Structures are given as structure tokens and as C-alpha cells.
């Protein structure tokens, strides 16, 4: 199993609504045209015995989504060659039901334990989240990239803090975010940390995540929270995840298998050369078996799953990317798992920012 490299250098180049009303485990949500996300869970429901009916419904309603990647989680917006242009919000809302908005809050907060969030930056994020919520989308906001917490090399323009305050800063950031977004729609979901890995071992993560959940719950008792396992949210670490009793949790997994295909030519994973095609039976089994393991975990534990990231870099050939994307989406949907594609318009992107249009073969593989 290939490790996801922890170093992320600057990626310059890479860089009608339908109203569904459901009762008794069936759902109530506005669905955007073209996306037909209701098909995601058609007839297939995940096990939900650990969570409330509302959170179970929300997990299924997340349906098909996309990540606003490389924008607000770059050390500074624009550092990775793309900014969150308000026009993208309409483009995405027309096709997808859910937007995942990765945000590097830790680099926009005081370096001290209190981690007071920079108001100018927070207002910038508020506008993006509110614009998406106004489109009746589900919105997942997270804390994304905090190199020191994982023992990773810092990214250019990412600042170091006293090691003694690394963890408490994250707790205090979530306390502030819980307060800030307390009055927002229930369609806003908090994802407590993207891809724990490295020096943040499973034990350390289990302990930190319970502090993060408590910090949010002191302020907001019911908002749905997303948490995922270590090893970059790979399903293989699901069994190590320990969750406090809380009826409003969804568990996130990421899927980049077959990794040597999806990450070929990535500057941060130089061990994977270009030229790998997709998808052989073996490659399909690699992906399918990790998702089947996750489904088994879901049935045993009763927390619904969300697939927060999958995608392939543009250094792979387009025919293979299309085959991979459709294969992956079909596997997730077969198990009733909603997903957010990684990502909108950078190296893994499904949208061509120069020509201002979807890369049709990828869009079709995701949505048709």
C-alpha cells in the first residue's frame, strides 16, 4: 500500500431544484438539476444504528458532491494557483448537491494557544459558505492541512507555532467555528480534520478528536460532525477509530486506490511515475475491496460513511481517468455512499478554468 506523501510543495500548474420529501428514513432535501443524486442511495441504505435518524438521512442526502480544492486550504488563498471565484459557486450548484470546502484555518489564526481566527479571512470563508448554503447545497467545511500536527515539513508560507500549543490551537479553532456558525443551516456540516496521519497516531487522534467534539458540543449540541480515521482517512484504519457516544457523527473515508494510478506524476509522490493506465480487474478489486471493508465496518458500528475525496491527477491519460472515475463512483453508489470528488478546477479537476466549462468526459463519468 502506497503511503500518501506528506509533503505538499506549491502546486502552481497543478494546480431546478427538485424537492424530495421523504419520511421515516427516507429524506427531505433540495436536489440540484442534472445531478440526480437521489440515485446514490436508491434502495441502498447504510447501517445507522449509532446515530440519529436525522444524521442518517443527512449522510444519505449528501449524495454527489465536489471539493473546492487547492483554494482556501493553500497556505494563503492563491498560493496554489486558484482562488475561490464566486462564479464557481453557481457552476457547482447547478450540478452537485454537496460542496466540501477545505480550509487551512490554522494558518489564519493567532500562533498562540487561543488561535484567535483572523476576522478578514473568516469573513471571506463565511461568504463562500453562505453563498453555497443559499443555493440549498449541503456544505462541508473542515480544517485542512496542519503540517506541524502531523510532523510534516511545513509548506511554503505556512508558519510554525510553539509545539506546546499545536493541538490546543485546533481545539480552540473549533470552539470559535462552532460559535461562528451556530445559527447556520443544518446543511452546514463540520469535518473536524482532514486526513490525520504521520506523528498524529491513532491513539493521539482518538484523544484529540474527543476534545474537538467536546469543544463543538459545548456550543452546538446537534450539528452533524464528520470525522475520519488515520492513514489519510483510508478505510484500512477504520478499526482504530474510537468515537465518543454522539448521535450526530458521520465517518469520512478517502479513496485514491489504485494510488499508483491516481497519483502518478504528482510532485508530492515522486515515487509514482507517469504512464499507468486504468482499470484492470486487479485495480478494480483494489478499490472495491477497501470500500467493501468500510461497508463491513459500517454494518458493525452503525456510523454512516461519506466518501470525502477520490480523484485522479491530470498526468494520467484522459480515457483512464474517465474509466477510473466512473468505476469509483459506481462502487461507492452501489453501497449507498455519498461522495465529494477531489476536486473542482486544479490538478485533479473536472472543470476547465481556462475555457470555463466542465471537462465533459469527467463530468459525465461523475454524473450521467
Nearer to ligand BGC, 102 or 338 (CB): 102
Q: Which three cell numbers stand for residue 320?
A: 483512464
Least spacing, CB of residue 144 vs ligand BGC, in Å = 6
Nearer to ligand BGC, 143 or 224 (CB): 143
Alpha-carbon Rg of the chain, whole angstroms? 19
DSSP for residue 105 = G
Distance CA 359, CA 351 (A): 5
Site membership for ligand BGC, residue 332 (CB under 6 A): no
Site membership for ligand BGC, residue 152 (CB under 6 A): no
Contact 192, 227 (CB under 8 A): yes
Nearer to ligand BGC, 64 or 263 (CB): 263
Residue with grid cell 479537476, as numbered in its chain: 349
Torsion of CA 83, 86, 87, 93, to 10 degrees: 110
Nearer to ligand BGC, 3 or 134 (CB): 3
Nearer to ligand BGC, 50 or 71 (CB): 71
Least spacing, CB of residue 70 vs ligand BGC, in Å = 7
- Phi/psi for 88 (5° steps) reads -65, -25
Site membership for ligand BGC, residue 342 (CB under 6 A): yes
Residues 231-270 that bind ligand BGC (CB under 6 A): none
Site membership for ligand BGC, residue 158 (CB under 6 A): no
Q: In angstroms, what CA-CA distances link 154 with 161, 164, 201, 266, 338?
A: 11, 17, 19, 18, 32
* Omega cis (within 30) before 207: no
Which residue in 38, 79, 191, 195 binds ligand BGC (CB under 6 A)? Answer: 195
Least spacing, CB of residue 220 vs ligand BGC, in Å = 25
Site membership for ligand BGC, residue 194 (CB under 6 A): yes
Cβ density class 206-229: b for 16+ within 10 Å, e for less: bebbeebbebbbebbeebbbbbbb
Residues 303-322 that bind ligand BGC (CB under 6 A): 309
Distance CA 38, CA 61 (A): 8
Distance CA 224, CA 141 (A): 11
Which residue in 8, 60, 100, 223 binds ligand BGC (CB under 6 A)? Answer: 8
Least spacing, CB of residue 194 vs ligand BGC, in Å = 6
Least spacing, CB of residue 233 vs ligand BGC, in Å = 8
Least spacing, CB of residue 82 vs ligand BGC, in Å = 12
Q: How many residues bind ligand BGC (CB under 6 A)?
A: 6
Contact 229, 241 (CB under 8 A): yes
Nearer to ligand BGC, 195 or 237 (CB): 195
Residues 72-91 that bind ligand BGC (CB under 6 A): none
Least spacing, CB of residue 15 vs ligand BGC, in Å = 9
Contact 272, 260 (CB under 8 A): yes
The DSSP secondary structure of 187-201, one letter per residue, reads TEEEE--S---TTS-
Nearer to ligand BGC, 2 or 165 (CB): 2
HSE of 226 in the Cβ direction (CA atoms, 13 Å)? 32
Tell me which residues touch ligand BGC (CB under 6 A).
8, 144, 194-195, 309, 342
Amino acid at each position: 500500500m502506497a503511503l500518501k506523501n506528506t509533503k505538499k510543495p506549491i502546486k502552481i500548474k497543478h494546480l431546478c431544484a427538485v424537492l424530495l420529501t421523504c419520511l421515516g428514513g427516507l429524506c427531505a432535501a433540495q436536489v440540484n438539476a442534472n445531478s440526480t443524486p437521489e440515485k446514490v442511495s436508491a434502495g441502498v441504505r447504510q447501517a445507522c444504528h449509532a446515530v440519529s435518524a436525522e444524521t442518517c438521512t443527512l449522510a444519505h442526502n449528501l449524495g454527489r458532491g465536489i471539493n473546492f480544492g487547492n483554494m482556501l486550504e493553500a497556505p494563503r488563498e492563491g498560493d496554489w494557483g486558484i482562488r475561490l471565484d464566486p462564479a464557481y459557486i453557481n457552476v457547482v450548484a447547478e450540478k452537485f448537491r454537496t460542496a466540501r470546502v477545505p480550509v487551512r484555518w490554522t494558518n489564519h489564526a493567532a500562533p498562540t494557544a487561543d488561535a484567535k481566527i483572523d476576522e478578514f479571512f473568516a469573513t471571506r470563508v463565511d461568504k463562500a459558505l453562505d453563498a453555497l448554503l443559499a443555493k440549498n447545497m449541503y456544505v462541508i467545511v473542515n480544517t485542512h492541512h496542519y503540517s506541524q500536527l502531523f510532523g510534516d515539513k511545513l509548506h511554503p508560507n505556512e508558519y510554525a507555532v510553539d509545539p506546546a500549543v499545536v493541538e490546543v490551537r485546533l481545539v480552540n479553532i473549533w470552539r470559535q467555528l462552532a460559535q461562528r456558525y451556530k445559527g447556520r443551516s443544518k446543511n452546514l456540516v463540520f469535518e473536524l480534520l482532514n486526513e490525520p496521519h504521520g506523528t498524529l497516531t491513532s491513539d493521539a487522534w482518538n484523544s484529540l478528536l474527543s476534545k474537538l467534539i467536546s469543544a463543538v458540543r459545548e456550543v452546538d449540541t446537534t450539528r452533524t460532525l464528520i470525522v475520519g480515521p488515520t492513514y489519510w482517512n483510508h478505510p484500512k484504519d477504520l478499526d482504530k477509530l474510537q468515537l465518543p457516544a454522539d448521535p450526530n457523527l458521520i465517518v469520512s473515508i478517502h479513496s485514491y486506490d489504485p494510488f499508483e494510478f491516481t497519483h502518478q506524476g504528482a510532485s508530492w509522490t515522486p515515487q509514482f511515475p507517469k504512464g499507468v493506465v486504468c482499470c484492470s480487474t486487479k485495480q478494480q478489486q483494489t478499490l472495491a475491496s477497501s470500500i467493501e471493508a468500510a461497508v463491513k465496518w459500517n454494518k458493525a458500528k452503525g456510523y454512516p460513511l461519506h466518501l470525502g475525496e477520490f480523484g485522479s491527477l491530470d498526468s494520467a491519460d484522459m480515457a483512464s481517468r474517465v474509466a477510473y472515475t466512473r468505476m469509483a463512483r459506481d462502487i461507492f453508489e452501489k453501497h449507498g455512499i455519498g461522495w465529494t470528488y477531489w476536486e473542482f478546477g486544479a490538478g485533479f479537476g473536472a472543470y476547465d478554468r481556462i475555457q470555463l466549462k466542465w471537462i465533459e468526459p469527467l463530468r459525465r463519468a461523475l454524473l450521467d
